């Protein structure tokens, strides 16, 4: 069977020029529609899905690890360099037998073909020490100028070397990066620095990390890159720069729009830099990102007390109008203020900007969950996704009985899609009759999307066995349960077949409860 599969591979590549590079995708695409190793038909896409979306190399390994071959065959393939033999050695390097894998890597080293680099890189993390040693020797012979672009193509596998735990491959990774930095043409480096793929750009910056120290233009390009991961990587290189340059970039990055970048910079500041950047840190304490605000206040704790920030937040909020107030000011006061500050935030609940309304609602909820009830229920009609997310987050943590009654009324009378969706999801997560009431009202709603959501939530509620843990409804909920059941029975909507069984189970359970 192994011979039949190899013959199929030969025919597949027969029309291709021998100079064409054999890539991982070539081997995946070349896999026949019949799985010779497991005895059943299985297309490549089906196999890729069944394995769970593993990397292409691991897909190859899963398919070729039981490929029938012998150690002597691998030795023979190693002696004569040809396209067929190189292909056989690539497959043999994925074999389940460690001796065969080791000999295959030796053979690939002798063949010295750029198309074999991916297989040698994989062998660097092999669980057999002899295979790893052979792969280290092989990769050294492949780090030659004519193979530079072929090594670059496998940048993801080069990066993956840093994540290997079986053995330390950091030195190998650095060796490959140093090789690429010295051998790749300048035009190629510029091309990948301008790539639309952020992972390729990040790899390019890592290749040029030594040049970064003395190249201001490259530094500026890293700081201005729109990918936050690249700016985070640049922060790790700041200690390699001279002091003046380091301070310049830190000052700029403290107010970076990405919270993860600003937090990393702030947490790296020493005491001298904190004193120097006090003005910038004070501005960061008004940032929209909560981690940035907290990091800035923590950095300034030696010189500025919490009361200072509370006073500053109050003053700024009082001075700015709706169009100029920063959501971070409102959020910051919610984090440091008192219940008395709620009166300052209530006017912003009617702001024209959704970000301001959501910040005010969240701040009120943080200062006093009890007082927030009125404002949370009034905000259900708000069409802002940010506001709806705040409602969900706050009420999902704790919901009061009077709030549940308001949600019942909303499910029965509201026509706003966003309000119905939030209320339905809040009720459905309750392991009680609250979920059933919300689901019944939703299933009788005139909007198709709300009905579909109700049926899905009802199916999940029934399948997780919630009905077995629910006691008989108390008197105040019986009215709403009967009302929701009556509304469902008076409508004429058809339940989709996929939900029919679970829906009938719920209806039987409700009918028994209201009798």
CB 334 within 8 A of CB 348: no
Closest alpha carbon to 93 in 175, 27, 44: 27
Backbone phi and psi for residue 324, each to the nearest 5 degrees, phi listed first: -115, -15
pLDDT of residue 465: 66
pLDDT of residue 24: 38
CA angle 260, 262, 263 (to 5 degrees): 65
DSSP state of 494: P
3-state secondary structure of 254: coil
CB 235 within 8 A of CB 253: yes
pLDDT of residue 16: 41
Quick one: tokens of 137?
A: 């020797």
Q: How far is the CA of 125 from the CAs of 28, 52, 164, 167, 171, in angstroms? A: 21, 21, 7, 7, 13
Contacts of residue 245, Cβ cutoff 8 Å, sequence gap at least 6? 216, 219
Backbone phi and psi for residue 83, each to the nearest 5 degrees, phi listed first: -60, -45
pLDDT of residue 474: 67
pLDDT of residue 508: 87
How many other CB atoms sit within 10 Å of the CB of residue 234?
Answer: 24
Backbone phi and psi for residue 352, each to the nearest 5 degrees, phi listed first: -80, -10
| CA–CA separation, 151 and 133 (whole Å) | 19
| CA–CA separation, 173 and 70 (whole Å) | 32
How many other CB atoms sit within 10 Å of the CB of residue 4?
Answer: 11
pLDDT of residue 46: 37
Closest alpha carbon to 105 in 84, 80, 130: 130
How many other CB atoms sit within 10 Å of the CB of residue 144?
Answer: 13
pLDDT of residue 467: 55
Q: Report the chain (515 residues): mean pLDDT per 10 consecutive residues.
A: 46 43 40 29 34 42 62 84 79 85 91 84 90 93 89 86 89 92 86 86 90 91 93 93 93 93 93 92 92 93 88 88 84 92 92 92 93 92 92 90 90 90 89 86 92 91 66 75 90 89 88 81
3-state secondary structure of 128: coil
Q: Give the pairing of strands 40-41 and 34-35.
A: antiparallel
pLDDT of residue 348: 92
Which ranges in 24-169 belong to alpha helices (H)? 24-30, 44-51, 56-64, 71-79, 83-92, 98-111, 117-123, 129-142, 148-153, 155-160
pLDDT of residue 23: 43
Which run of H or of E encompasses 310? helix 306-319
CB 369 within 8 A of CB 394: yes
pLDDT of residue 14: 47
């Amino acid at each position: 069977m192994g011979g039949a599969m190899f013959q199929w591979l030969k025919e597949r590549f027969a029309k291709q020029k021998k100079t064409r590079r054999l890539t991982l995708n070539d081997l995946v695409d070349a896999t026949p529609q019949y799985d010779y190793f497991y005895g059943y038909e299985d297309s490549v896409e089906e196999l890729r899905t069944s394995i769970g979306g593993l990397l292409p190399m691991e897909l190859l390994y899963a398919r070729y690890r039981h490929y029938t071959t012998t150690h002597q065959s691998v030795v023979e393939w190693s002696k004569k360099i040809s396209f067929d033999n190189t292909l056989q050695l690539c497959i043999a390097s994925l074999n389940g037998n460690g001796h065969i894998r080791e000999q295959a890597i030796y053979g690939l080293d002798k063949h010295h073909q750029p198309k074999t680099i991916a297989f040698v890189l994989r062998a660097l993390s092999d669980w057999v020490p002899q295979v790893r040693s052979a792969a280290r020797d092989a990769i050294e012979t492949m780090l030659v100028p004519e193979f530079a672009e072929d090594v670059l193509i496998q940048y993801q596998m080069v990066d993956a070397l840093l994540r290997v735990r079986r053995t330390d491959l950091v030195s190998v990774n650095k060796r490959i990066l140093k090789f690429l930095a010295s051998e790749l043409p300048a035009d190629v480096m510029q091309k990948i620095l301008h790539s639309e793929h952020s992972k390729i750009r990040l790899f390019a910056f890592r290749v040029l990390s030594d040049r970064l120290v003395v190249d201001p233009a490259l530094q500026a390009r890293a700081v201005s890159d729109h990918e936050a991961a690249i700016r985070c990587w640049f922060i790790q290189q700041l200690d390699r720069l001279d002091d003046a340059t380091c301070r310049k970039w830190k000052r700029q990055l403290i107010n970076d729009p990405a919270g993860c970048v600003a937090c990393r910079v702030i947490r790296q500041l020493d005491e001298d830099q904190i004193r120097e950047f006090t003005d910038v840190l004070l501005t960061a304490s008004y940032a929209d990102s909560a981690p940035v605000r907290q990091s800035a206040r923590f950095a300034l704790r030696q010189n500025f007390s919490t009361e200072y920030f509370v006073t500053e937040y109050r003053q700024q909020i009082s001075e700015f109008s709706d169009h100029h107030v920063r959501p971070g000011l409102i959020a910051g006061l919610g984090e440091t203020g008192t219940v008395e500050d709620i009166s300052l935030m209530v006017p912003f609940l009617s702001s024209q900007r959704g970000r301001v309304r959501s910040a005010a609602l969240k701040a009120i909820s943080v200062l006093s969950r009890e007082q927030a009830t009125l404002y949370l229920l009034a905000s259900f009609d708000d069409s802002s996704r940010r506001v709806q997310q705040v409602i969900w987050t706050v009420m999902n943590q704790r919901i009061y009985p009077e709030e549940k009654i308001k949600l019942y009324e909303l499910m029965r009378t509201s026509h706003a899609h966003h309000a119905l969706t939030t209320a339905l999801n809040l009720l459905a997560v309750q392991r009680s009759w609250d979920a059933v009431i919300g689901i019944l009202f939703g299933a009788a709603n005139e909007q198709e999307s709300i009905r579909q959501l109700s049926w899905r939530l009802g199916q999940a509620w029934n399948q997780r066995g919630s009905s077995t843990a629910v006691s008989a409804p108390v008197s105040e909920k019986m009215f709403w349960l009967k009302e929701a059941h009556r509304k469902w029975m008076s409508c004429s909507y058809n339940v989709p077949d996929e939900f029919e069984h679970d829906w009938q189970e719920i209806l039987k359970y409700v009918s028994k409860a209201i009798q």
